[in-house]
């Protein structure tokens, strides 16, 4: 199908993009386009105006600041894969195919909030913060508060996702385990792990899950069990998540629960042995 008719604007600055969003409530931002354009072709999205921010240099790149990394919203998956960021390169390398990785952006993926996207599991495990900017200024949104439902985030309609702050987490070990859909490459279930050990004792552990439910979540009960001395197998064997699990023709909720437990165990074993 062809998309519905729309107008196209390429702003010269972030402030101009924000102004255009405020003046046109039905507008949509265009970055890499790998989520929005297919939705427009299927008439699932019919924006009256596309605001193309893909060439705004102020939203690109990775830099160190204040003891952490700042990742610009227009940083591509391929750039993240080649970076020294914690955990995120492990995730980026299993996203889509080379074309998607070279054109798709982390900001577009996070703002789209597809429940089967890969990055949400990682930003939860990293306890990253997302920077949003609107006419009222900038604000930081903790990853825990950013994802609010299927394709829903804490961003207001006139705010732009500028980037995210990722802590360096020295001493942590990371892993990402994914069972991918054979047609789309999206995560049927994905689990990201960040683990800090001191000797044989686990000092800190963070587990983020995507694909299993309609919004990403932390596996907090498993984290508590591990800090209490249980091993990965025991901590994950009977785990029940705090949210209803998704189910479809490809994978039932029961099967996703099985995958969640297995992938969480594998991610923990890999990060603990790394």
| pLDDT for res 38 | 85
How many angstroms separate the CA atoms of 182 and 77, rounded?
A: 20
Last residue of a domain, one of 146, 167, 188: 167
Looking at residue 138, which CATH number applies to its domain?
3.30.465.10
Looking at residue 225, which CATH number applies to its domain?
3.30.390.50
Residues 6 or more apart whose CB falls under 8 angstroms from that of 101 comprise 76, 77, 78, 81, 92, 93, 95
Between 116 and 274, the higher pLDDT residue: 116
Task: Please write the tens of the pLDDT for every residue from 54-113.
Answer: 999 999 999 999 899 999 999 999 999 999 999 999 999 999 999 899 999 999 999 999
Residue ranges of alpha helices (H) inside 128-204 are: 143-146
79 with 48, same domain: the answer is: no
Mean pLDDT of 43-50: 90
266 with 177, same domain: the answer is: yes
163 with 87, same domain: the answer is: yes
How many angstroms separate the CA atoms of 223 and 216, rounded?
A: 16
Helix, strand, coil percentages (3-state) for the chain, rounded to 5, are 30, 30, 40
Last residue of a domain, one of 110, 136, 167: 167
225 within domain boundaries: yes
Residues β-bridged to residue 131 = 140, 163
Last residue of a domain, one of 142, 167, 192: 167
How many angstroms separate the CA atoms of 70 and 164, rounded?
A: 6
How many angstroms separate the CA atoms of 235 and 255, rounded?
A: 19
98 within domain boundaries: yes
3-state SS assignment for residue 82: coil
Mean pLDDT of 228-257: 96
228 with 137, same domain: the answer is: no
pTM of the model: 0.95
Q: Give percent above pLDDT 90 in the chain.
A: 89
115 within domain boundaries: yes
2 within domain boundaries: no
pLDDT of 32 strictly over 80: no
| pLDDT for res 274 | 63
Name the maximum alpha-carbon separation found in the chain. 61
1 within domain boundaries: no
132 with 104, same domain: the answer is: yes
Task: Please write the tens of the pLDDT for every residue from 110-154.
Answer: 999 999 999 999 999 999 999 999 999 999 999 999 999 999 999
Question: How many CB atoms sit inside 10 A of residue 244's CB?
Answer: 10
Grade residue 33 by pLDDT with cuts at 50, 70 and 90.
Answer: confident
187 with 116, same domain: the answer is: no
| Count of domains for the chain | 3
149 with 186, same domain: the answer is: no
Grade residue 2 by pLDDT with cuts at 50, 70 and 90.
Answer: confident
139 with 78, same domain: the answer is: yes
36 within domain boundaries: yes
178 with 163, same domain: the answer is: no
86 with 145, same domain: the answer is: yes
114 within domain boundaries: yes
Residue written as token pair 């705004």:
56
What's the Rg (C-alpha) of the chain? 19
How many helical (H) and strand (E) elements, i.e. helices and strands, does the chain have? 11, 14
Check: CB of residue 9 under 8 Å from CB of residue 23.
no
> Which residue range(s) make up the domain with 193?
172-273
| pLDDT for res 45 | 87
């Amino acid at each position: 199908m062809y998309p519905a008719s729309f107008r196209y604007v390429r702003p010269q600055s972030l402030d101009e993009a924000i102004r255009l969003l405020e003046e046109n409530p039905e507008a949509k931002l265009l970055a890499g386009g790998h989520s929005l354009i297919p939705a427009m072709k299927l008439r699932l999205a019919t924006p009256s105006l596309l605001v193309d921010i893909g060439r705004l240099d102020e939203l690109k790149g990775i830099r160190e600041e204040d003891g952490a990394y700042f990742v610009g919203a227009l940083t591509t998956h391929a750039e993240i894969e080649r970076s020294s960021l914690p955990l995120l390169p492990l995730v980026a390398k299993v996203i889509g195919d080379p074309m998607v990785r070279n054109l798709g952006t982390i900001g577009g993926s996070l703002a789209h909030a597809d429940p089967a996207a890969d990055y949400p599991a990682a930003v939860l495990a990293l306890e990253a913060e997302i920077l949003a900017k609107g006419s009222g200024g900038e604000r930081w949104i903790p990853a825990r508060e950013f994802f609010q439902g299927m394709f829903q985030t804490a961003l207001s309609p006139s705010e732009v996702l500028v980037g995210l702050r990722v802590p360096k987490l020295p001493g942590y070990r990371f892993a990402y385990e994914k069972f991918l859909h054979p047609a789309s490459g999206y995560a049927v279930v994905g689990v990201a792990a960040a683990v800090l050990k001191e000797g044989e004792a686990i000092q800190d552990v963070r587990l983020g899950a995507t694909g299993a439910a309609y919004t990403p979540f932390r596996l907090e009960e498993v984290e508590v069990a591990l800090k209490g001395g249980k091993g990965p197998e025991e901590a994950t064997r009977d785990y029940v998540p705090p949210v209803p699990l998704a189910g479809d023709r490809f994978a039932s909720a029961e099967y996703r629960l099985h995958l969640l437990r297995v992938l969480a165990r594998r991610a923990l074993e890999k990060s603990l042995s790394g």
